[in-house]
Amino acid sequence: MFSQDPIEWPDEVEVLIDRLESESTQRALTREERALMDVYETVPLLEGEDGLHEFWQSGVNHQRIIKSFDLIGATALVDPLNASRWCGTRSEDRSDYSETESDYLATIEEELPAAMDELIDLVMDFIEEELG
């Protein structure tokens, strides 16, 4: 199971997300703005107790989310997301996984902490280059 301290987004990111949430009721967000929102909204799923399993069991648009992580340059998260795609076809209860499935998922999730550590810098660079 995945566990790590939650990401604490810089104030600049929080303010931008609030603005985009507000503006999204008035206009369609650009692909870059939507990618930022996708990443921001998906991080809590990945940080949850069930990590990748929780992501795949959620009702989000998985393909769009993966493309959003890729768009902001978080390829270190794209790989484990793609490698765990099979979780979406399994039981909603992670405890129903076979020992092999549990071990494999735990191996994939070992990549998450380092990838999550890079995320703030990647998001800040993306904001500066694409939205700044």
CA-to-CA distance for 28 and 56, rounded, in angstroms? 26
Residue 48's pLDDT is 87
CA-to-CA distance for 76 and 92, rounded, in angstroms? 25
Is residue 119 within 8 A of residue 77, CB to CB? The reply is yes
Domain ranges of the chain: 29-131
The number of residues making up the chain comes to 132
Cα–Cα separations (whole angstroms), residue 76 to 11, 65, 88: 24, 14, 20
Residue 7 phi/psi, 5° resolution? -65, 135
CA angle at residue 37 from 36 to 40, to 5 degrees?
Answer: 85
Scanning the structure block, which residue is given the tokens 């999730």? 109
Dihedral, CA atoms, 109, 111, 116, 119, nearest 10 degrees? -140
Cα–Cα separations (whole angstroms), residue 57 to 85, 88, 113: 10, 6, 20
Splitting the chain (132 residues) into consecutive groups of 10 residues, what average pLDDT does each group show?
74 96 94 96 92 93 97 96 94 91 94 92 95 82
